[in-house]
Amino acid sequence: MIIEWSALTAAFLLGLFSSAHCVGMCGGIMGALSMAVPAHAKARRWFILLSYNIGRVFSYALMGAIVGLFARQITESGGAVWLRWLAGALLIAMGLYLANWWRGLTYLETGGRYLWAYLQPLGKALMPVDTVPKALALGGIWGWLPCGLVYSALAYAMAQGHALGGGLVMLAFGLGTLPAVLATGFVAQQLGRLLQKRQIRWSFALAVILFGLWTIWGGGHGSHQHHHTSPGAEDHSMHHQNHSGMSHDEMDHSAMDHSVMDHSDMNHAEADNVADNPPQAVDHTAMHHNATSSPDSFTQNSSVSEQADPHHHQ
């Protein structure tokens, strides 16, 4: 199992590029967390915010491990290429979404809303979030919020083909979103304005689209090709071993049972005189040591050989 740093770096950059969207999605909950803690308790506030994001990022990692485990069954059945194409297509959709050129990812969010309908009441029950355990739990729940960008990253995690790779890719994606989401107050507003500038937003979008095309081409998963040898391949290769150097002179044939040998195809044509030709000159290349021949057939074949061979010695 190979984990490539390039895949983790790409996932981190995907999270970083989608920070503008994350600020819009999670900005409200971050503000609510900040207001739940007194202004003078700055250290406690940071612990709450950090705990929330740790829970959120690890929920992404859990999602990645789940889809990676599912994808392993697909890759083992020869569907790795299809997973890579799906990941590339969704990454292109992510880039179009970030640039606001096409918002097709919103259709994916529709499916996630069914699960979110069950999870959202659990998050509301944790309010107000004034302790670290509550913040961790809320982050773990909030990570399942329907988000087309997260689903696109999940497709890339699925393309890794195993649970560990999928989990690590989503962990890297979540870490990429941290700088923007952790920034609160005035810093968050400034960062949001910066990321909303058309030039920056389009630059990030084009980078994601190019990465999606590269993934479809094979660069995102090209080095993960595994060559499996089928169970019969090893046995088949044994039948093609080179026996040219084998010496038959030293082989012990004393235990060979010649009573069931079929000599009907033995070629004695070149052995005109057995006395003048040693046994080594007899051509045994066409001899059939067929163990299934019965003793009766050997008797019959031997009588035929005696009639055909004038030099047969009694």
pLDDT digits (tens, 9 = 90+) for 67-87: 999 998 898 888 889 999 999
User: Residue 159 has what DSSP assignment?
Assistant: T
Q: How many residues does the chain have?
A: 314
For the residues 162-190, what does the mean pLDDT come to? 83
- The angle at the Cα of 277, spanning 275 to 279, to the nearest 5 degrees, equals 100
Distance CA 283, CA 309 (A): 14
Q: What are phi and psi of 41, to 5 degrees?
A: -95, 70
Distance CA 97, CA 106 (A): 9
Q: Is 163 helix (H, G, I), strand (E, B) or coil?
A: helix
Q: Sorting pLDDT into bands at 50, 70 and 90, what band is 111?
A: confident
Specify the residue for token string 């999606």.
Answer: 212
Query: What pLDDT, on the 0 to 100 scale, is given for residue 68?
Result: 94
| Domain range annotation of the chain | 5-223, 256-314
Residue 38 has pLDDT above 70, yes or no: yes
Contacts of 249 (CB under 8 A, 6+ apart): none
Q: Sorting pLDDT into bands at 50, 70 and 90, what band is 12?
A: very high
Specify the residue for token string 């640039």.
Answer: 99
Query: What pLDDT, on the 0 to 100 scale, is given for residue 106?
Result: 85
Q: Sorting pLDDT into bands at 50, 70 and 90, what band is 110?
A: confident
Residue 264 has pLDDT above 80, yes or no: no
Contacts of 94 (CB under 8 A, 6+ apart): 14, 18, 105, 148, 149, 152, 153, 208, 212
- State percent of the chain over pLDDT 90: 32
The answer to whether the CB of 183 falls within 8 A of the CB of 191 is yes
Distance CA 239, CA 242 (A): 9
Query: What pLDDT, on the 0 to 100 scale, is given for residue 155?
Result: 94
Query: What pLDDT, on the 0 to 100 scale, is given for residue 56?
Result: 94
Buried b (16+ CB within 10 A) or exposed e, 152-187: bbbbbbbbbbbbebbbbbbbbbbbbbbebbbbbeee
Q: Sorting pLDDT into bands at 50, 70 and 90, what band is 182?
A: confident
Nearest CA-CA partner of 188 in 12, 48, 25, 55: 25
